[in-house]
Chains A and B, each alone.
Chain A
Amino acid sequence: MEFTEFLWMTFGVFVTLCILSFLYKDNPFYKLAEHVVVGVSAGYFVIILWHNGLVPKLFSRLADGDWYYGFLNSSHVEYLIPAILGCIMWTRFSKDYAWLSRWPMAMYIGISAGLAIPLEMSNRVNKQLHAMMAEIDWANFVGHDGFNLLDVTSGLSQTIVMIGALAAIVYFFFSKEHKGAFGAIATLGIWVLMIGFGASFGFTVMARISLFTNRLQDTFRWGNVAFNTGNANYHAGFIVVFWGLILFVAGYAVYEIVTNLKRRSSTT
């Protein structure tokens, strides 16, 4: 690894620690990293929109025209219409002409809503209802290999899925009071929903921990590179940078502890 790449890696670890310092309290290092990433992300998105969006979808199509004629002599002059409609969206910032921005927005909303109706009805409702009303495997009601309550394809499991899903759908029907038999089914429904939410929570814990695990892996990788004497480009600078960052972080931690102690002793 080159030394310049290691310096950038060190910067990556530095900003990681800047963000993690928020766990202690809000501080200038966290704000620094936060504002940098907002600007850099926005700049990145501008470039992606330009190179992957505007250039291939608009400018390349108008390329046989001349910019000083406003591309009106292009063979695909019809693409000026969505460009103009897109520019009209920017009138949103004007107090007098903001009403113009509703036209292209209306086009987009109409198209999206129209697309959604048949597709969502088919895929979220029809196919799920169809799957819910699947034929119960009575022959293997308690399991395919003998008695096995944990067999997910057994008739019993299919029955639980069907009854559980129906009960949960009944729970979501709030136009009728949840009393009597209806209320009992709704109660079963909320029990099933709670199991689903518990499963989601279990996965969520894993998801969150893995986010921190990745930062640990990158930090340890940085440490390994700092001491990797097998690297053809290795020299003392790697160690200097490594210890420089460690001492800087340790120094800031000591400064915070001392400031905290002084504040406590002055209040008592």
Chain B
Amino acid sequence: MQTFEKLMKLDRRWVYLLLIIVCVWSYIADFTVPILVEPEVRSIHSFIDSLPEGDIVMIAIDYDPNNLAELHPMTYAMVEHCWRNKVKTIFTSLSQNGPGMCDQALRDLTDSMALDREYNGVEYKGREIVNGIDYCFLGYKPYFAIVILGMGQDFRLPFPTDYYGTPLDSIPMMKGVINYGQCACVIDISGGNITDAWISYGQGRFGFPLALGLTGVMTAQYYPYLGSGQVFGIMGGLLGAAQYEELADNPGRAKDGMRVQLFAHMVIILFIVMGNVGYFASRRRLKQEGRA
């Protein structure tokens, strides 16, 4: 029992060191974690798969570098899925550092799209992705709730120009595209409360199909909206991103990171069990001492 009590008083830095060692070891080890796809992720993938060529999907990159670990893989997997299927995308970033994240993702993805690839047994020839024809990046404006409402009237209201300063009216892709009505769906990839604004102010007022890509911290809170039909899909955290990569047959950072997740979770569960065993042991000892 005293061993447990000594363990309870262990300097927390040893706990950190153990976690680092486990994470590094599990990353170096070469194995793949089997991914079971959940219905809420499959619905997003199926929706995009069902879209004809030339349809437009709006993707809101509403996250900062703090959340890039979970949300960047989702963005990469989903945008490449759209572009391989020749679905056009409109990007916007309503978070402070979102434009930089989106700009980086666009640079990487346009390079990736130039290569020939095979996904789910289908060969896709590499092609050049052109700004203004295949995608349009609207950029950032502050006060996301107001911007979401403004875009519902007309994209040009909050965004007279795109991120690169080109007037929206002179962008070929945006001809005839006025507001959400011309988009097949909106997918919000967010790490904060911008998601609430998309649900209430966007989907609630304008009724477009909305799917969410969320950090793990937020995921549990948005299941009511899935249940009520206000959103048609949720990708939750790194597991959600890994599930999307699994469906798209496009393994990336999310699937790569799942083995670290697996062993880190096992270590944390071990910590919880050890902590509780020690707690009950010390409680029993105190009771016995009390009786004595």
Contacts and interface: CB of A to CB of B under 8 A. Distances in A.
Interface of A: 23-24, 41, 44-45, 48-49, 51-53, 55-57, 60-61, 111-112, 115, 119-120, 122-124, 127-128, 130-131, 161, 196, 199-200, 203-217, 220
Given A44-B100, A213-B257, A131 B229 contact: yes
A163 to B, nearest CB: 15
Interface string B16-42: 100000011001000000000000000
5 contacts: A52-B99, A52-B139, A209-B261, A210-B216, A213-B264
A210 B69 contact: yes
Contacts of B200: 119-120, 122-124
A111 B143 CA distance: 12
A34 B256 CA distance: 29
Nearest to B139: A52
B265 interface: yes
B173 interface: no
Nearest to A122: B204
Interface in B160-182: 160-161, 163, 165
Interface in B208-258: 215-217, 219-221, 224, 227-230, 236-239, 253, 256-257
A94 B159 CA distance: 33
B228 A213 contact: no
Majority secondary structure, B binding face: helix
B83 interface: no
Contact of B13 (A23, A48, A131, A196): A23
Contacts of B69: 210-211, 213-215
Nearest to B159: A56
Contacts of A131: 224, 227-229
Contacts of A209: 23, 260-261, 264-265, 268
A172 to B, nearest CB: 15
Interface in B80-118: 96-97, 99-100
Given A112-B145, A115-B201, A210 B160 contact: no
Given A119-B200, A119-B201, A210-B237, A128 B161 contact: no
A131 B260 CA distance: 38
B161 A41 contact: no
Given A122-B204, A206-B239, 5 more contacts: A48-B99, A52-B139, A57-B160, A123-B199, A203-B219
Interface of B: 13, 16, 23-24, 27, 66, 68-70, 96-97, 99-100, 139-142, 145-146, 149, 159-161, 163, 165, 199-201, 203-205, 215-217, 219-221, 224, 227-230, 236-239, 253, 256-257, 260-261, 264-265, 268
A116 to B, nearest CB: 8
Contact of A161 (B99, B227, B229, B256): B227
Contacts of B205: 119
Given A44-B100, A123-B230, A206 B204 contact: no
A210 B268 CA distance: 14
A123 B204 contact: yes
The list of the 5 closest CB pairs from A to B, nearest first, reads: A207-B216, A131-B228, A214-B69, A123-B204, A210-B238
Contact of B160 (A56, A199, A204, A206): A56
B65 to A, nearest CB: 9
B220 A200 contact: yes
A48 B68 CA distance: 19
Given A57-B141, A115-B145, A210 B261 contact: yes
B163 to A, nearest CB: 6
A206 B261 contact: yes
A14 B3 CA distance: 38
B225 to A, nearest CB: 8
Contact of A127 (B99, B163, B228): B228
Contact of B256 (A57, A127, A211, A217): A217
Contacts of B264: 209, 212-213
Contact of A207 (B201, B215, B256): B215
B207 to A, nearest CB: 11
